[in-house]
Structure 1
Amino acid sequence: MMRGVVEDRVRLALLVFRSSEEASAKLLTEDGEWPARVIFSRYGVVADRYLFDLPIGLTEGWYELDGARVSVATDYEGDEMRIAFVSCNGQEQGDLDRKREDRNTLWSRLKTEHQAAPLHLLLQGGDQIYADEILDAHPATRRWEDDDDYAGNDVTAEDLENIRTALSRSLFARYLVLLGHDEAKSLLRSVPTLSMWDDHDICDGWGSLAEAKLDSPVGQTVFEVAREHFLLFQQASTLDDLPETMMERAGSGFGMHVELPGLHVVIPDFRSERRPDRVMTEEGWRSFDESLKRAAGSRVLFVSTIPVLGPRLSLVESTMNVIPGAQKYEDDLRDQWQSRHHRAEWTRMLKRLVRAKDEEGTEVTILSGEIHLATRGTLACNTGTVHQLVASGITHDPPPRGWARTLGALAWLGDSPLPDHPIRMRSLPGHPRTYCDQRNYLRLLRKDGRWRAWWETEEDGTSEPLDLGSVDHSV
């Protein structure tokens, strides 16, 4: 896992699980041996966390774990810098029952590409695990999920401890199995990675559910269990030992900012502080603003777990009360920046991106997932174009084709809160429709100072390249 760059060295973290009866493995680099620190011990399993660093500039940097050598590319200042972006690694129901080779088809492709041309960075944009089914581990959490009228306030301290134990066992096992698949594991152990959680890393719709559910003892236990495992498996950390790359070290949010040679990666946390009428607190907004100020005049990859540019979803929301059964999708629509409940914050975000581009000279590219489709969008600025690239999901199946067409129709209608800065949704280069309904992931390449991007789709393969310096002249 990526822990940032200090002077001429990249800091990395590695998480290794072992039986409590086994000794810690030895981790070696050319600088010697690096110690293990135990950050988790439960169920007869121990998690060792290694913090180590490698020199920048190596095409074949390496570390050895118990004699097995793993290559890591750290030549960030070289002629080429290769990045992959993935999201939505799972599905709501039956993920553990899928055939492994079918589930991990695109992980296998990305692994093959990495073997041919090593990646320098892997970005994971949310829903790295689908925790939805862990709510089956206890009757109270299943009722909390299914019964709209049950908030989860009538439980005892003993009940909560039993709930915590049941959820923790289930989620821990789920992480071990799914992130233990070699197709993904081989990449995670050899490519410095930054990951941000989204709702399914907690439960479907977390933050957009009724506040009575979110703040109840049962709801808070669900969140705390998910948070512990997100920090452990995706950050190699604990709540009292957060990475220095995080913007807010107090633990209320887990947004990150990493500066690499010629590149800033900014990843706000849009889930921890979310409420039905709020995406981020003022503290979250302040941290995001300061990160963009730090990156002024540079190239920024802004990872937004929810697409910032999108279609006119307020039209769909307005029909929720008249379409039978549609209310169950209300939290999914509230998750979106384009929801009428978040329009003020959406406008605030768009204004901040325009200011970064036009006043601060920052080249911002938005990377997003969440919607289980691939698409792209543009935000017109006075000095050029902010591109948004959406890649989702790497293992989640696409929704019914009719939903992709509905979104395409809504995109045609348009929705631009800033009249002088129109938003347009676009198809992948060479693809006929605005939304591509195939499993997918994204690759980015910096070569000779020029940034380009490609999508890899399950059926159509590699898209035509998109020049991230291009201007959308159609608006």
Structure 2
Amino acid sequence: MSQPREQRLPGSHNRQHSSDGVRQSSGNQGVGRTGDLEIKCGPLIRYTRMSTASDNTRLWHGSVLVVMNSGSGTPGLRLSCVGRIGGDGISENTMSNGLDGQITDGSEGGSYASVKSTTNVPAKKLFEDVQMVFWRFDLEIPLQENEAHWGYDLPGAHYGSGSVSNDLISRDFYVPSKHQSMRIMFNSCNGFSVGTDVDAWAGLTLWNDVLRIHKRKPFHVMIGGGDQLYNDHIRVDGPLREWAEEKSPHQRRIHPFDEQLRQGCDDYFFNNYVNWFMTEPFATANGQIPQVNIWDDHDIIDGFGSYTDHFMRTPVFVGIGHIAFKYYMLFQHHTPPPVASNILSAPRITNHGTGLDSMRDGYNAYVMPETEIDPSWILGNSPGPYLTQKSRNIYTQLGKRIAFLGVDARTERTRHKVNYDETYDLIFDRLNLELGRTPGEIKHLIILLGVPIAYPRLVWLENIFRSPIVGLIRFFNKRFGIANSLFNKFDGEVDLLDDLDDHYTAQTHKRERNLFLHRLQGLMQQHSVRITILGGDVHLAAAGRLYSEPDLKIPTIQDHRYMVNVISSAITNKPPPQAIANMIARRNKIHHLDKETDETLLDLFNKDPGDSTKTAKYNRCAMPSRNFAIITESTNPHRALVANGGDNKNAFLPSNTTTATATGKSGRSALHAGEEAAGTDHPAASGVDESGIFAELGDGGGLDITYRVEINANRDRDGRTEGYGFTSEWMLFSCFLVHLGTSSEWR
């Protein structure tokens, strides 16, 4: 395995297997030399949670993951505080090939890392089979009065023989001060769909812009909204090709997921993760910006969970789902996979005490027992319908005043249900518990979903795809091969139908969506916390909002119905055609969640990026260009108390505007002063400068939302972007009761 490189094609392989599917080793019989520390993938850094130590020190928890050849030596990691940002603390230093300072075991600060000297962090073996071993280093870092710059290196570790340098592998990252909320980068759809001309789209170039901004003003966390890589090529140039090309739907349904196919698919997923996560500039970001991820369908295979029930239960689809879960847990969560997800098709005897699985053909794997569940997990009570695993939702705190919920909307998904009712109860029980611990401290709750929830309806398109005329076309397709491109290769349904069924706004999910949103409104009112929802999947940028119907004349600062849906995708995959984005804009009507809640997209894009032409003149709400989002806390007190639907004579205006109508009557224009001048002229547009709009004096709460939109994908290999911004209002505890509707809405 060579060191990180510029570009690897999706689905390319270097972990070899023979034609009969039996694992064959590459290189030195697949086993590293004793003591050799050759890295196949990594380092990858992850953030998990915050806690308070026994001496009341506030701690940042995370981990670093490396993957090496099986049989290699045990690696080590050295962790050191490089410097503090601002204040009169340690001066900022430049990290070179190593970390200077005395080596300690961290005893100065109890069980956590020492700020004053270098700390040795032991490795934990998560998983090992005949070819690779996953090592994790757990990091516990004390928060300080100032933002801190930390570094780590891996003594003796190196990349493969193709490396151009044997320099010490070292990385750095940043943690907020004990008084800060985190500076967040959000992305989704980090890969290419089948059939995309990868060279034409210049690969992972937007990560160049992520790193440029990170260098100017560092991110504390990188949130992945699903599809961190695309595994869809497994059916094109991988082991599922023969199965996918089987013309008989019946034969595809009964095809066994035997040991040969299981091994081939396991090899494919492992290689795809290694190749993609080690491709620059994404590889550099992986080691420098701590990640928090949830998964979506392409982390498994396109549409997983949204096909017909009888197809989802086929041996092949169940098999690849479990292999995907195994590597999702390892690569994206640095967590040993539950034993059941490792061995699928063959009987086995499991020794849970050692984590050793023994298969009938002698294939052995070590899996570290998950004896303690990390407190950041919210585990479902029951396994998913197609995966024998419980959903893994995430609750954590992103610094001082921002909480985070990542909803696992894939493990329990079916065509008719996103999550079990009992899982929603578990999620809201946890949110009420956490928000009730320190009332008033958390100002903002960020919720991560795989797909948008405040988005134009496409029910008319669903109806067309389910109409009798499409059934007639399907008949001719089966008999004569007519309109092959219209139907997918799995269950024979219209190819776009699984994408539509994934949406919360789909007919099948409407009731579930509405109940979820009503419960969120109740949570906001009860805890006086503002909620912002993140979503990806649709390969364009937009900003949905839900808000109280204007005739109610509720100021946004007191509006428990005001929620922003930050829709940011794709950071790598190609955007939809201009016509699709313009159609979305045409469908951007004012929808009604109920008689008291309206929703629509914000007119955010006052111009196309650079001098490009990407949208029609009437389209100011749906941008078909690759993008990522930045979310930071506002800093200065400029507050608009004007009611949505009222006049603006008492509004406090943001410093960059001369007027602030903030009437919201059209639903697409500004609802409050923070949305005024949304777009390239807004002070939040850069993603580096702070807008100073709407923060409580000295106590934060409002969020600056930035979209960095690619200007020209085909000619600019550096991934240059233009910024668009607005500010989401924080939530002021109301001194009077606003109308909530019937109490049954909140149960």
**Fold shared by both chains (TM-score > 0.5):** yes
> Is contact 2:189-2:229 (8 Å) kept?
yes
For residue 434 of structure 1, what is the aligned residue in structure 2? 621
Give the aligned residue type for 1:252: K
> Is contact 2:181-2:401 (8 Å) kept?
no
> How big is the shift at 1:377?
0.8
> Is contact 2:181-2:402 (8 Å) kept?
no
Q: CA deviation digits over 1:342-396, x for unaligned, max 9? A: 1110111221222122333121001111000000011014533211111101001
For residue 19 of structure 1, what is the aligned residue in structure 2? 69
- Separation in 2 of the partners of 1:338 and 1:409? 16
For residue 588 of structure 2, what is the aligned residue in structure 1? 411
CA RMSD of aligned residues (A): 2.5
Q: CA deviation digits over 1:392-416, x for unaligned, max 9? A: 010011011111111111123x432
- Separation in 2 of the partners of 1:261 and 1:195? 20
> Is contact 1:83-1:443 (8 Å) kept?
yes
Larger Rg over CA atoms: 2
For residue 263 of structure 2, what is the aligned residue in structure 1? 165
Superposition misfits of 4+ residues, deviation over 6 angstroms = none
For residue 302 of structure 1, what is the aligned residue in structure 2? 447
- Separation in 2 of the partners of 1:13 and 1:469? 33
Matched ranges for 1:143-222 at <5 A: 143=243, 149-150=249-250, 152-156=252-256, 159-222=257-320
Given the superposition, is the C-alpha separation of residues 200 and 420 from structure 1 closer, same or farther in structure 2, using an over 3 Å criterion?
same
> Is contact 1:124-1:194 (8 Å) kept?
yes
Given the superposition, is the C-alpha separation of residues 101 and 277 from structure 1 closer, same or farther in structure 2, using an over 3 Å criterion?
closer
- Separation in 2 of the partners of 1:333 and 1:255? 23
Matched ranges for 1:331-410 at <5 A: 331-381=498-548, 383-384=558-559, 385-410=562-587
> Is contact 2:192-2:198 (8 Å) kept?
no
> How big is the shift at 1:106?
0.7
Residue 72, structure 1, aligned to residue 117, structure 2: no
- Separation in 2 of the partners of 1:139 and 1:60? 44
For residue 394 of structure 2, what is the aligned residue in structure 1? 256
Gaps of 5+ in 2: 1-45, 53-57, 81-105, 107-118, 156-167, 339-369, 382-388, 474-485, 488-493, 549-553, 608-618, 636-699, 713-720, 732-747
Q: CA deviation digits over 1:396-451, x for unaligned, max 9? A: 11011111111111123x43232210011123353452100000000011143142
- Separation in 2 of the partners of 1:107 and 1:416? 37
> Is contact 1:151-1:212 (8 Å) kept?
no
> Is contact 1:70-1:190 (8 Å) kept?
yes
Given the superposition, is the C-alpha separation of residues 337 and 147 from structure 1 closer, same or farther in structure 2, using an over 3 Å criterion?
farther
> How big is the shift at 1:68?
4.2
Matched ranges for 1:104-115 at <5 A: 104-115=204-215
> Is contact 2:211-2:285 (8 Å) kept?
yes
> Is contact 1:428-1:463 (8 Å) kept?
no
Query: Which of the residues 396, 400, 416 maps onto 1:277?
Result: 416
Matched ranges for 1:77-88 at <5 A: 77-78=178-179, 81-88=182-189
Matched ranges for 1:303-318 at <5 A: 303-318=448-463
> How big is the shift at 1:18?
1.6
Give the aligned residue type for 2:727: D
Q: CA deviation digits over 1:310-334, x for unaligned, max 9? A: 1112122112124554722211111
2:518 counterpart SS class: helix
- Separation in 2 of the partners of 1:423 and 1:134? 39
Q: Number of matched residues?
A: 467
Given the superposition, is the C-alpha separation of residues 343 and 17 from structure 1 closer, same or farther in structure 2, using an over 3 Å criterion?
same
2:630 counterpart SS class: strand
- Separation in 2 of the partners of 1:341 and 1:429? 31
> Is contact 1:430-1:463 (8 Å) kept?
no
Q: TM-score under structure 2 normalisation?
A: 0.59
> How big is the shift at 1:86?
0.4
Q: Percent identity?
A: 22
- Separation in 2 of the partners of 1:100 and 1:166? 30
> How big is the shift at 1:189?
1.4
Query: Which of the residues 215, 218, 221 maps onto 1:121?
Result: 221
> Is contact 2:708-2:724 (8 Å) kept?
no
Give the aligned residue type for 1:388: N
Query: Which of the residues 130, 134, 138 maps onto 1:47?
Result: 134
Greater mean deviation of Cα atoms: 430-439 or 387-396: 430-439
Give the aligned residue type for 1:466: F
Given the superposition, is the C-alpha separation of residues 232 and 151 from structure 1 closer, same or farther in structure 2, using an over 3 Å criterion?
farther
Given the superposition, is the C-alpha separation of residues 79 and 217 from structure 1 closer, same or farther in structure 2, using an over 3 Å criterion?
closer
Given the superposition, is the C-alpha separation of residues 244 and 141 from structure 1 closer, same or farther in structure 2, using an over 3 Å criterion?
farther
> Is contact 2:606-2:620 (8 Å) kept?
no
Give the aligned residue type for 1:222: I
2:261 counterpart SS class: helix
Greater mean deviation of Cα atoms: 437-446 or 63-72: 63-72
